[in-house]
Amino acid sequence: METFQLSKPALGGTDIRTYPNVSGNLDLYTIGTNDEIYRLRRGENAEAPYHDTNLKITGRQLFLYSSISESSDTPNILSLGGNGQLRFASYKSTTETYFQQETRPEDATETIRQFRAVRGATNGNIYVNVMLDVPGESFGLLANNFFTPGENKWNGPVWAPLMGPGGTQAEVLSIAMVENSVVQSSILAISKDYEVLYCEQANRATPLRVLGTKKATALYVVVDQEQRLNIFAVEKDTGKLLLKKQKKYQSGSLKQFDDWIYVDASQDVRLTQIYASICFDGLLQVFGIGDDGRLWRAGQVPGSGRSAEPAWNTLFPLGNEIPSDAASKASIFTVGRDLAGYAEAYTVSAGGELTRFWQSPTSQQWFDEHVTLYRGDNEMVPVETHALELVVLDNEGMPMPFAKVSIQASFLVTLFVDGRSYRCSQLNRVGVETGPNGKVVIYQRANALAGATLYIETPSTLAGSPLAVEPNLQLQEKLETLSVDDIKNAKDASGAYLLPAQYRSNDEYAQSLQQITQASMQIAGQQEVKAKKVAYHAVRRGRTARSFSPKLDLAAMNGTTWAIDFSSGFPQYQAMTLDEVADWKVSKLETMRAASADGAEVAGFLGIDWGDVWNGIKNAAKFVVDGLVKIVVEIVDGIGRVLFDIAGKVFEAIIEFAQQAFDFVQGVWNWLKVKLKQLFEWLAFLFNIGDFVRTAEAVEHNTRVMLDFTVEGVEHVKQMILGGIDTMKDSLKATVDSFVQELNKADNPTYDQFSKQEEMTDDQAYQLEHNLFSNAYEENGGNASEKGETSVSLMTQTALSSPLEDLVTMLEELADNFQFGDGKEAFNEAIEYFTAIGDNPNEVLNLLMSGIVKVMESVALFALDAAKGVIAVLMDLIKDVVEAFRDVLFAEWEIPVVSQLYKFFTGKTLSIRVSQIASYLIAIPTTLIYKLATNKAPFPDQAALDAYTNYITVDWLKSKFGIQTQKAVAFDASLEKVVAQIALGVYAGAMGVRIFTDNLTGFLSATAAVSADQPSKLPTNIKNYVGTWKPKGKSLAGLAAVLLRYTTTFATMPWLIRPGSPAPNCPAGDPGFGGTIWITQLICGPTRGLFVLALVPGGRPRVYTGEITICLWGVANMIMVAWNYNDTKNKDTLAKLGLSRALTNIIPGQIGRILFIPDVQDKTYFIPALIGGVLQVVGYLGSAGVAIAELVEVGQMDESRFIEG
């Protein structure tokens, strides 16, 4: 899916060098403008994959080294200045900068054209070989000297000449040394006559000798895993790749070499430069730059015998375009190997961006991605990713907050976990911790159609048996079910068709692509370790991974054969039998032998790394794209063989991994000149930013309408509500008993069963995931800061009126009463009921709903009596209360990443109002839930938003209450239906976000009594997490949580979700009683909460007053809802859904907040807070699922049922 990041590409220079740092990763050293040297270092747990540093030194042709006592993070740097003299730079820890100075032998005056250096294996001296400039000549003179690190004093006063084979100073065109060993002192050179010269050690006494008769134009030297020299050269007249290898067994004092051989005798491309490295498996690979500026590669494969030497695959075009430096004419390309053994290459893209290029050792696929840096200008950019949200569960299937998680990947990838960048592989383990909701958000860069398999270890997994998590299954399902019309109508983000017009004229072409796709996905589905999509509400432990080899098990597909025929100019699916494939193979082998100079040399088809062919197709390598005739797939004895017929040659590769199967799909589209980015734009989820912004604006509009209406609405129903409280007290026991009977009719469900009455489908649950704003807030909310005046000053600058001070006092006294006074017994009874389950918080799910309702009866009787006075005063002062916090709601804040997302989505500033925070936190899931249910956005354009905001007004709400309005309010049945569905979508989206915000404020409340300098039983991981939330972040957390409660309250307004509902009325069972419950919830729920947050002093008083008063209101709220359901005559589907939605919100979100009060935590090891978190996760997901079911139910209703109340 698409995501957005603060990142920018690193710009490549004229040269690139790699050097492994202390952590084992490769640092990149590049040459920028005016020869300035920059270092790019990969970060772990960083804001971006790389960060760059201008070292404030200059030079070219870098040689980097560090001694045992020096850090490889800051190596010494020897370079060549623009004046042809060496420069030495060393790092000074006292100033944390590099110090650079020119260095040369005392009497040396010559200009240096090229240099190579090595550190001595035993003495640590730095031996420098130079090619001294000869004016007017293409060649230079070979010389050397050395110095001792630290002293920087050269051993001799001049550049000592090195002798050639004739006993005179060697005249050379270029020099080379071993590239992958800093202590291998052999020197090689190309003479002015293009001979390859060699000497074991550079000194005046030992002349260079000629290695054979071959002439060469380029050299590259490496040692293999046996530490034997491998000398690669480009043959002068043919451009062919040559290899001379040190003999395995030596005699005498001089190194001996095998004869020159052609790595690929059939090579017909002329190479200009070459680079070699050791791969992850210890075998060699060599890259060549063709005369067309494209990249070619040959790699070793194990020999067939036990002690056989490795063999070489054919030189094959990877197709990457490799630029060259205009000044030196050298290709801007380098290879390196990190300390974990991963080989990587680096080059510069056509746009000048530094690009990383590497191969998976297992799947053999090639990947490339831009080297990216943190972007500090607050401008977000879209990034293509494979997205995955994991909820870590315990053995009973419940989310585990603050759990330690270990992540590894099947091959080397860049991961972004909870907003931070990591390098991940089988060897690079990423360690993170879940948040309050047990969630971990993982993004992989989408540099291929399929992502790496991830291996997850949690506290619930067995040691060494991680869970295999496959991020490609949703895409796999989508590809499996693509229709012909889907393919014909495929478009990229710009609206352009992917298939050219001539291929959309009939179904034949799209049907062929459909068949290729389905056949490929059938292969991808044959994994040894079956994985499932990870859905938030239904994650369970599956089969564990077997080490790190998620191979395909193709036994069930034995005998499967098919082909892709390109001969017509379009990739056509072709069914083949085993016999037809056998005949085709015989024919092709005979043709290859006939074309060979010696038929005996062609014993079989040519070996090829799987990824080489597909990379060549992706990069439009002429040899591959023009020469590709057919791809044949056969599965025999459980082995999948894929044969590529290219330009008269047949190459054979093995398919072993699911990710490889996706290459068929990407490859055929690439062959049609459709890039991965376009495929991503078609197949992946892309954000329609306008849709989300309009949804957010609608939600914020709702908040304004509710605030403006609250005062008049409360005045209209005040006496009726107060009278209703007395009635509730009188009939409380009968109501509870009657409601328990209703529950018994439904088999007396547990809390868990009741919450899962309308469990979300996978597709519905997926809409609650990948919420960019919510994830960004979870990761960065603790660092929020206010613009201008702080909310604290806003709350205290103006002296409170005497009545408001009295109300604050009443609330505090009520809370005190339930801690220390008459209410304590009832209060403790409720806490003990929930905590009597022992030390396993999940056991709370097995409590019977009837028991929860019954135990609240005693609390309710006291709560209703004690709270009536407070509710009365709160109603009397509602105008003052609303005005007291209005400024707080519209104050502006900046939250890292959230603010940048807001700016990107809206085009406005970084400052975001408190009222907008809640709106944007829920905009994405709300929009997606509505789209899933209705196949369209809630506000597809500005006209739809305008229609909504013009319809849902204060006057509209007044009309529902029977309050006189200034303007006549028209009733629109069709719009009422849309409004109902939007409201239920808003509710479901908000409940998904409240899982985090309410759990966060719960843990902040539960830890309020913990002092940093006092011993506590608070688990360290919770303590550490809470510590990341700074005071202002905690203040905003409270505001955001209350705003989300306003949002869910508004979204459950009867006149929104049940069009035709009458004005508020009593008694219970009356159609208007739902309105009475709603306005009471508005006053005693979020309005009370915001009043406490704004006006009750911070710290313990605010925590206790807030949590206890919401619990008391929750008890009353539950009784009102149950009472109304008991007495209503209409118990249809919507009524039952409404009851379930309400109780799965009230019980965890209001009543259950007693479990977060501080005083009961420490002695019970914070188990009550964990129980409260479990209740909220399960209840809120259940409530969201019910709301989605209601949305669907309302959508199926005929508009004739929507009548004016």
This prediction has a pTM of 0.87
Per residue in 283-330, pLDDT tens?
A: 999 999 999 899 999 999 988 776 678 999 999 999 999 888 777 667
Contact yes or no for 261/243 (Cβ under 8 A): yes
Calculate the dihedral angle through the C-alpha atoms of 511, 516, 522, 523, rounding to the nearest 10 degrees.
Answer: 180
Residue 51 has pLDDT above 90, yes or no: yes
Nearest Cα to 571, choosing from 617, 615, 609?
617
Per residue in 900-943, pLDDT tens?
A: 999 999 999 999 988 899 999 999 999 999 999 999 999 999 99
User: Residue 1084 has what DSSP assignment?
Assistant: I
pLDDT at residue 509 in the model: 96
Higher pLDDT, 538 or 534: 534
pLDDT at residue 788 in the model: 67
**Highest mean pLDDT (candidates 496-505, 546-555, 757-766):** 496-505
Q: What is the Cα 46 distance to its own chain's centre?
A: 13
What is the band of 204 on the pLDDT scale with cuts at 50, 70, 90?
confident
Helix ranges restricted to H, 256-361: none
What is the band of 599 on the pLDDT scale with cuts at 50, 70, 90?
very low
Within 8 A by CB and 6+ apart from 1132, the residues are none
What is the band of 1202 on the pLDDT scale with cuts at 50, 70, 90?
low
CA distances from 433 to 833, 1059, 1196 (A): 31, 45, 43
DSSP-assigned states of every residue in 345-392 = EEEE-TTSBEEEEEE-TTT--EEEEE-EEE-TTS--EEEEEEEEEEE-
Higher pLDDT, 1051 or 593: 1051
Residue 794 has pLDDT above 80, yes or no: no
Query: SS3 helix, strand, coil % of the chain, rounded to 5?
Result: 40, 25, 35
First and final C-alpha spacing in the chain = 44
pLDDT at residue 540 in the model: 31
- SS3 label, residue 1003: helix
Per residue in 343-399, pLDDT tens?
A: 999 998 777 889 999 998 888 999 998 999 999 899 999 999 999 998 888 887 788
Residue 209 has pLDDT above 90, yes or no: yes
- SS3 label, residue 129: strand
Task: Identify whether 1067 is preceded by a cis peptide bond (ω within 30 of 0).
Answer: yes
Nearest Cα to 701, choosing from 907, 888, 877, 913?
913
From the number of C-beta atoms within 10 Å of its C-beta (0-12, 13-18, 19+), residue 970 rates as exposed
Contact yes or no for 1012/1052 (Cβ under 8 A): no
Residue 989 has pLDDT above 80, yes or no: yes
Check the CA dihedral 635-639-645-649 and report its sign.
negative
Per residue in 1013-1035, pLDDT tens?
A: 677 788 888 888 888 899 899 98
Per residue in 1148-1194, pLDDT tens?
A: 999 999 999 988 888 888 888 989 999 999 999 999 999 999 999 98
Backbone angles phi, psi at 3, to 5 degrees: -135, -175
pLDDT at residue 1016 in the model: 79
Question: What span, in angstroms and rounded, lies between the C-alpha atoms of 112 and 1123?
Answer: 94
Contact yes or no for 520/661 (Cβ under 8 A): yes
The backbone region for 124, taken as left when phi is positive above 0, alpha when psi lies in -120 to 50, beta otherwise, is left
Q: Across-strand partners of 178?
A: 221
pLDDT at residue 614 in the model: 93
Question: What span, in angstroms and rounded, lies between the C-alpha atoms of 1037 and 1018?
Answer: 21
CA distances from 1121 to 624, 1069, 1126 (A): 70, 10, 9
What is the band of 600 on the pLDDT scale with cuts at 50, 70, 90?
very low
Q: How high does pLDDT run on average in the chain? A: 87
Query: Sheet of 333-337: strands edge to edge?
Result: 333-337, 343-348, 354-359, 366-370
Tokens of 166: 């004739």
What is the band of 542 on the pLDDT scale with cuts at 50, 70, 90?
very low
User: Residue 317 has what DSSP assignment?
Assistant: E
* Domain boundaries of the chain, sorted by first residue: 104-262, 381-524, 555-655, 690-1196
Contact yes or no for 1073/1065 (Cβ under 8 A): yes
Max distance between CA atoms of the chain, in angstroms, equals 117
CA angle 288, 292, 297 (to 5 degrees): 25
The architecture CATH gives domain 104-262: 5 Propeller (2.115)
Per-residue burial over 743-756, b = 16 or more CB atoms within 10 Å of its CB, e = otherwise: beeeeebbbbbbbb
Fold for the domain defined by 381-524 = Immunoglobulin-like (2.60.40)
